[in-house]
Amino acid sequence: MMHMTFYWGRRVTLIFDSWKTETWISYGLTLVACFLCSAFYQYMEDRRLRFKIIASTAPNSQQLEAPLLINADGRKMIGGLAGIGSRTANLVGALLFGINSALGYLLMLAVMSFNGGVFLAIVSGLSSGYLVFRSDSSVDDLRLVVDNPCACA
């Protein structure tokens, strides 16, 4: 039977019927996996947003003629991405969004196990991942990106 309230214990069925924890060691490894997956979610979100910023950077007339913006193979860098078309950039952005959404929904399903340890591991992983990957104040060119703090979208 599925729990409908938070509970604390080592016996958890997480996402799949085959992922069951019976011992404290398996429960601890499950919590570490939840922590790492949620930190990886923040890493992927950072990569997706950075790719979106780089792909959407419009070149100005000075960038088009600047000799320092030429790659080693002679191609000019336009908008931060050398030689990549807008269709390819859209496909890569959609792929990153799909991976991030799938991971977010899996994290949501893990939280729906209603185990307190799993919940705390995921929230602490999201917080740690945000601290490590997304709170970078050394970025010179800050742009406003509409951000959704929900881990499932």
pLDDT of residue 49: 87
- Beta bridge partners, 20, equal 13
Looking at the whole model, is its pTM more than 0.75?
no
pLDDT of residue 53: 83
pLDDT of residue 60: 52
Tell me the average pLDDT of the chain.
81
Phi-psi region of 80 (alpha: psi -120 to 50; beta: other; left: phi over 0): left
pLDDT digits (tens, 9 = 90+) for 40-56: 999 999 999 888 888 87
Contacting residues for 30 by C-beta, under 8 A, at least 6 apart: 12, 14, 19, 21, 118
pLDDT digits (tens, 9 = 90+) for 71-128: 555 555 555 555 566 788 889 889 999 999 999 999 999 999 999 999 999 999 999 9
pLDDT of residue 139: 52
Q: Percent of the chain scored above 90 by pLDDT? A: 51
pLDDT of residue 69: 53
pLDDT of residue 140: 43
Nearest 5°: phi and psi at 148? -110, 115
pLDDT of residue 142: 47
Cβ contact 43:133 at 8 Å:
yes
Helix axes 24-56, 116-129, angle to 10 degrees: 30
pLDDT of residue 3: 80
